[in-house]
Chains A and B, each alone.
Chain A
Amino acid sequence: MKTGSLYLYLLVMAGVTYLIRMLPFTLFRRKITSRFVLSALHYIPYAVLATMTVPAVFTSTGNSVTAAAGFVAALVLSLFKRSLTEVALAAAAVAYVVSLLL
């Protein structure tokens, strides 16, 4: 990976992400009224996270068995509404323990 192209990627990522936050925060003076647009905006974060998580989570540890175990652990803890940190660390801990057993 060329260092120069890494800087370009960094610039695009930081720039786009900042503009998305800054422009509405600075310029917006009224409320969105389109129910359809509001609905789509409401669903987009979940849709994005879902398609990023499945199937990538199952290859995230380099072993599909340990990854599946961590995935199930994360699902169960999430059902009990544990914090982001707890769920993230528990998934890793379960994947680690299972990898020792294999």
Chain B
Amino acid sequence: MDQYGYKNGLRDGLPIGLGYLSVSFGFAIWAVKQGLPGWFLILLSGTNLTSAGQVAGVTIITAAGMLTEMALTQLVINLRYALMSITLTQKLDSGFSTWKRLIASFFVTDEIFAVASTRERLVSFPYMMGLGTLPWIGWTLGTALGFFAGALLPPAFSAALGIAIYGMFIAILVPGAMGDRGVVMAICISIIAGLILRYVPLFSFLSEGFIIIISALIGAIITAAVRPIPEKGEVTDP
């Protein structure tokens, strides 16, 4: 069976790249306001390629959080990539050797996973590299543009752009919640847990990173116990 090649990957990755460009533009403007230098943000986007993890990371840095806290937060927030990676291994073609896996795994993001895992054919190494190219460029370039343009934009404009990254989160949450009561439950419990941990003085010793980890785990674990996903457990919703 013919596999998709590098060019097919590039084509499939274009809309993802355009989307990443605009979102990372907003990320950079938001992160600059947290007081971080542009070179750091560009390096961060180029080496991490993840939105939620980077937002949480910047939050922890500005709060001068511990490195263990940072590592744990990244682990919990990005744990979904492990599941996506596992799912993708079931679709890799026979030419996908170990060193190719070491390289291609860098590009596992929600959107890239969604595209790769829903192709009819097996996933080849050239296809994965093509698929990752434009999203990586878009994410890194958008961060650089956001940093440089952010200084030129009127304050009211860049203030408004601070909400863009949360808009993207909402655009993932709401469709995921539609038709999946478990997701609704997980969202509600983790928000309530987060509000309690943030505003009840008893928990004021907790930093933002740990609050994210604890409230997300509470929401996910309670929901998993009460509303487990259907038995034939293929994950269809990245």
Binding site for B on A (CB under 8 A): 1, 6, 8-10, 12-14, 16-18, 20-26, 28-29, 31-32, 35-36, 38-57, 60-63, 66-67, 70-71, 73-75, 77-79, 81-93, 95-96, 99-100
Contact = CB atoms under 8 A, between A and B. Distances in A.
Contact of A60 (B71, B162, B171, B190): B162
B182 A10 contact: no
Contacts of A31: 86, 90
Interface string B23-66: 10010001000011100100110011110111111001100000
Interface centre among A23, A24, A28, A83 (most CB of B within 10 A): A24
B194 A51 contact: yes
Given A17-B74, A78-B175, A53 B170 contact: yes
Interface residues of B, number: 105
Contact of B164 (A17, A54, A88): A88
Contacts of A32: 86, 233
Contacts of B108: 21, 25
Contact of B52 (A8, A48, A86, A95): A48
B14 to A, nearest CB: 13
Contact of B89 (A25, A38, A67): A25
B137 interface: no
Nearest to B23: A88
Interface string B201-238: 00000000001100111111101110111010101011
Interface centre among B26, B54, B165 (most CB of A within 10 A): B165
A51 B70 contact: no
B4 interface: no
Contacts of B151: none
A25 B55 CA distance: 24
A47 B219 contact: yes
Given A41-B220, A43-B219, 7 more contacts: A1-B37, A47-B187, A47-B223, A73-B167, A74-B163, A85-B18, A88-B171
B48 to A, nearest CB: 5
Interface string B166-192: 111111111111100011001111110
Given A43-B220, A47-B219, A52-B55, A38 B18 contact: no
A92 B164 contact: yes
A19 B71 CA distance: 11
A28 B86 contact: yes
Contacts of B159: 61-63, 66, 95, 99
Contact of A25 (B35, B88, B157): B88
A62 B158 CA distance: 10
Contacts of B111: 84
A76 to B, nearest CB: 9
A21 B85 contact: yes
A53 B56 CA distance: 11
16 contacts: A1-B37, A13-B47, A14-B47, A38-B229, A42-B182, A46-B172, A48-B77, A48-B216, A50-B173, A51-B193, A60-B165, A61-B160, A67-B163, A70-B167, A75-B174, A84-B19
